[in-house]
Chains A and B, each alone.
Chain A
Amino acid sequence: GAGVSQSPSNKVTEKGKDVELRCDPISGHTALYWYRQRLGQGLEFLIYFQGNSAPDKSGLPSDRFSAERTGESVSTLTIQRTQQEDSAVYLCASSVGQGKYEQYFGPGTRLTVT
């Protein structure tokens, strides 16, 4: 079956521009997570959605970052007024539930801010 997909796979943008990153989770997965992986570093949690509950935004690094999810399907991560330090690979993962359940990761979107 289809896994988690993300688009675009690569995005190059100029400093100050806004970008939107998209994630299509596995069908039926109620939990969706966004992580960021900077060069040479581990993954950093950004935000997660669980069903119709309010999202946990505790990992968002600044108010320039926001995310939405439509029901239990597509999610978009928006970065406004991009900065060079936003350059990273943005990974999306989905899961059948919270906590001990395996998270299935997408291939990521590589964002480069010039």
Chain B
Amino acid sequence: AQSVTQLGSHVSVSEGALVLLRCNYSSSVPPYLFWYVQYPNQGLQLLLKYTSAATLVKGINGFEAEFKKSETSFHLTKPSAHMSDAAEYFCAVTLYNQGGKLIFGQGTELSVKP
């Protein structure tokens, strides 16, 4: 069965610093991978997704992620953090034969210090 591990339940960065949120997956077949963001008191919003096309995926708000099959990773990065990036971030995986049901990681709460 597939699974997702997000390293670090809390990450704190300074405004303007690099954001790196880690996600590793376990899957027996090529996966579809997603990053969702949840702002305080709001629903989940898709940041970006990998669906077997380009391995470097660009999303909204300056975020990007790279699918690395050899490392079974899909880490999320942003070159320069903004205060507005403070939120909870979830990595999720599904397989082509799973009907789209997402298996989520535990989430990483990102704090941005001024």
Binding site for B on A (CB under 8 A): 4, 31, 33, 35, 41-45, 48, 50, 56, 58-59, 91, 93, 95, 97-103, 105-108
Contact = CB atoms under 8 A, between A and B. Distances in A.
Interface string B82-114: 000000001010111011111111110000000
Interface centre among A56, A95, A100, A108 (most CB of B within 10 A): A100
A106 B45 CA distance: 10
B99 A99 contact: yes
A56 B99 CA distance: 8
Nearest to B48: A102
Complex A-B, nearest 7 residue pairs according to Cβ-Cβ distance, in ascending order: A100-B51, A98-B100, A42-B104, A105-B44, A43-B104, A42-B106, A105-B43
A4 B104 CA distance: 20
Contacts of A105: 36, 43-45
Interface string B30-44: 001010100000111
Contacts of A108: 43
A91 B43 CA distance: 8
Contact of B102 (A4, A56, A103): A103
9 contacts: A42-B90, A45-B103, A48-B101, A50-B99, A98-B100, A99-B32, A99-B95, A102-B34, A102-B46
